[in-house]
Chains A and B, each alone.
Chain A
Amino acid sequence: MAAKWIEALTGSLEQKKQYRQAQARIKALPEPYSTAANAFNRYFMVYGGVTDGDTIVQMVLDSADLWERAAVDRTSVSDIVGEDPVDFAETFAQAYVGKQWIDKERARLLAAVDEAKRSEGQ
């Protein structure tokens, strides 16, 4: 399901190819890395609110790098995610400051507050 909306969002064929390759790398990981990586990717997509293809592709590629590295080095899943997997996922996703739906809302909030301040000054 995620793959379908991602295709609607990502623009170029090249992006789609890169995205699929990253997903294939994650699928090919040994367990338990594959399960963990998949779970995080799902969360990144939902939490990140990222809507531009370049950023999504970069995020998934970096995630594939991270988990492949962990699998090769045999770093345990808990050494990667720590005690708070949600915090890890959110810190990771926040690094990708692409165009997010929240940006529009932030701009709207700032404009509204500016407006409120202006009327205060009168």
Chain B
Amino acid sequence: MGNQMTEMLKGTLEGIVLTVLTARSAYGYEITAQLRERGFSDLVEGTVYALLVRVEQKGLVDVEKVPSEKGPPRKVYSLNAQGRRQRDEFWGTWNALSERIERLHSDVDLTHDKGE
């Protein structure tokens, strides 16, 4: 993943993960897999895991430990009321930001860029 993509994703991954959890509860790997299917192809599991630790500490998700056939129980994350509010706020912010950036892009005619 390019550096710019990584940097931009960093600020938005929380909203993205909270959105993925809207449809149904999931454990870490399921979330990563779903995002990869949706084109976030270079997303590493650890990034999502670290993010999940954060949203858990912030109280945006509820966590249930589900026994697994091997190894430690899997932590299943589900969105709670606070997480829903955070998700909605994310989309509000995202829409406002992308609109502003788009407007900037269309106002500045890049085809006439005379710079080096």
Contacts and interface: CB of A to CB of B under 8 A. Distances in A.
A88 B13 CA distance: 14
Interface in B33-62: 44-47, 49-51, 53-54, 56-57
A11 interface: no
A16 B46 CA distance: 27
Interface stretch (B70-78, B83-91, B96-104, B108-116): B70-78
A94 B54 contact: yes
Q: Is the interface of B mostly helix, strand, loop or mixed?
A: helix
- The range of chain B's interface size is 20 to 34
Contacts of A108: none
Interface residues of A, number: 25
23 contacts: A62-B53, A65-B72, A65-B75, A66-B46, A68-B72, A70-B45, A73-B29, A79-B45, A79-B46, A80-B45, A80-B46, A82-B44, A83-B1, A84-B6, A88-B44, A88-B46, A88-B50, A91-B47, A92-B50, A95-B50, A95-B53, A95-B54, A96-B57
Nearest to A61: B72
Interface of B: 1, 6, 28-29, 44-47, 49-51, 53-54, 56-57, 68, 70-72, 74-75
A68 B50 CA distance: 15
A66 to B, nearest CB: 6
A81 B46 contact: yes
A72 interface: yes
A13 B57 CA distance: 24
B44 A66 contact: no
